[in-house]
Structure 1
Amino acid sequence: MEDPIHGIGGTGYRPRAESRKMTRFKPAPPFGHLPAFRIFVSPQSLMAQRSRRSRAAETTAGASPNGSDPNQASDKSAPSKNEPIQVNPKVFNGDTQIEVDGIQVNLRNRYLAAFLAWLVPGAGHYYQGRHTKGTLFVISILSIWTLGFALGGFHVVYASWYPGDKRWHYFLQAGVGSAALPALVQGNRMRLATDNRGRTRQDYEPWWNGFMAPPHRPVDESEADEVAAWYARRGSGYEMGTWYTMIAGLLNFLVVYDAFGGPLAVPISGRKKRESEQSENSPDNEEAAAQFAETS
């Protein structure tokens, strides 16, 4: 007969089914179980820590007996990151030779070359003896500028800074130099032919059949004027011609800078070549070659 206190036969053990019934049930928290956070350490971070420890050990082992650091002299000689870059004074002396990919380039007078490059695209490079670049620049830039000038009906380039017609586009169009200089002459004649009321005199006649001449004044968007007539005749070509001439002027600014500064002083091709030569002559490669020779 089963003992109610000591279990079956007085052994003191309860059946498995009864022990399951006696297991205490823990209700879940109202907001769910909190997520378990684990810290994962990537192999890269472990290797970085080991490399830092090895470098620290090598520095400690390589220290001199008197307590001085052998790398202290090299650290002092190396320039700091915050130190400004020292520019060679030869860059601004007006007569400089530079070497690019083993080729000597004589830039001659930098300021004169830059002025010639602005006056006529590519003229500064011809002055320096860089004929290939000069030919490329004069053909490409003047072609873009002439195309835009023709698309706008030969009226998109003119100099005017009058209320209602402030032609700020001309400051960029003038980047091509002499090709846009007639607009300054025509703009000055229009200024002299404008009366105190802001109107063009009846006796005014532009030079060169109106080539790069400003429109007759006043210029008002609410009234029919000469600019409105140009827009009506050319349509979207007037806007496209304006942008083409502006882009040509901006491109010539880069040509002027190239004539003054020359080609890249540190070419990428030469840098890669030097890096490959240094890697081939590194001590690790020499030791590996010696070990290979011994084994063979």
Structure 2
Amino acid sequence: MANKSAVGYYEPVDVDLKNPVTAAFLAFLWPGAGHMYQGRYGKGLLFMICILSTFVFGYTIGGGKVVYAAFKKPDIRYAYFFQAPVGLPALPALLQSGRAARQAEPLFGGFMAPPHVPEHAQDFDELSKWHEDLGFYFELGTVYTIVAGMLNVLAIYDAAAGPMYPPPPPKDDEAPTDKSTENDDSTP
């Protein structure tokens, strides 16, 4: 006998999103936290592991140099705008950027600090040295950290709006009829 409590493929499942704004904010701060707040522990853990491991992998193969915020020419780090949605793991870069703008010494041993920008052509260019030392791994690490940030944007959307379901198949207005019994007058 079929299980009558089973939900069909096209039937939406009620998910208690609690407060969607709070869930989205928590999902922004830490990947998967919004889903765990909603009680969707499996999905939250999946997002946390996948997004954070992608971010850490990219950060590691990039020699710990690929996540930094720089907003002044000549080195505007546009990639950071796509890395930042990972939330708290990318936040130290903003702190370090603010310190660099005030020409203060970086904290945490230079963790996520922007490279020193030379004032003259003959001065040491730290960013060029990073590219020389890391080769294509600098760009590859940047791509991985960007992918992690963009995946978290999707996770934030899922925490705020809930799961999305495919539209149900179109329903026929008429039930299929058997042409052989259509003109049968023997039925009352």
Asked if TM exceeds 0.5, the reply is yes
Q: 3-state SS of the aligned residue for 1:104?
A: coil
Distance 1:222 1:147 in 2: 34
Residue by residue, what CA displacement relative to the aligned partner does 1:88-135 show, whole Å, maximum 9, x if unpaired? xxxxxxxxxxxx725321111111111111111111111111112111
C-alpha displacement at 1:258, in angstroms? Answer: 1.1
The runs of 5 or more residues in structure 2 that have no matched partner are: 1-9
Q: 1:254 aligns with which of 154, 177, 182?
A: 154
Q: Using the alignment, how far apart are the partners of 1:114 and 1:263 within structure 2?
A: 13
Corresponding residue for 1:19? none
Tell me the distance in 2 between the aligned counterparts of 1:238 and 1:284.
Answer: 62
Say whether residues 1:210 and 2:110 are aligned partners.
yes
Say what the alpha-carbon RMSD is for the aligned residues: 2.6
Assess if the C-alpha contact under 8 Å between 1:219 and 1:227 holds in 2: no
Report how many aligned residue pairs link the two structures. Answer: 177
Once the two structures are aligned, what percentage of the paired residues are identical? 44
Structure 1 runs of 4+ aligned residues shifted over 3 Å read 219-224, 286-292
Candidates 139, 157, 180, aligned match of 1:239 = 139
Choose which of 154, 158, 163 in structure 1 pairs with 2:68. Answer: 158
Match of 1:172 in 2: 82
Residue 223 of structure 1: CA displacement? 5.5
Residue of structure 1 in register with 2:45 after alignment? 135
Whether the 8 Å contact between 1:164 and 1:219 is mirrored in structure 2 is no
Alpha-carbon distance, 1:230 to partner: 1.0
Structure showing greater relative contact order (alpha-carbon pairs closer than 8 Å, 6 or more residues apart): 2
Task: Report if the CA contact (8 A) 1:156-1:241 is conserved.
Answer: yes
Q: Does 1:105 align with 2:15?
A: yes
Structure 2 SS opposite 1:173: helix
C-alpha distance in structure 1 between counterparts of 2:41 and 2:181, whole Å: 48
- 1:149 offset after TM fit, Å? 0.4
Q: 1:187 aligns with which of 89, 92, 97?
A: 97
Structure showing greater Rg = 1
Q: Structure 1, residues 198-254: CA drift from partner, whole Å, max 9, x if none?
A: xxxxxx532111100111232678864111111121111011111111111111111
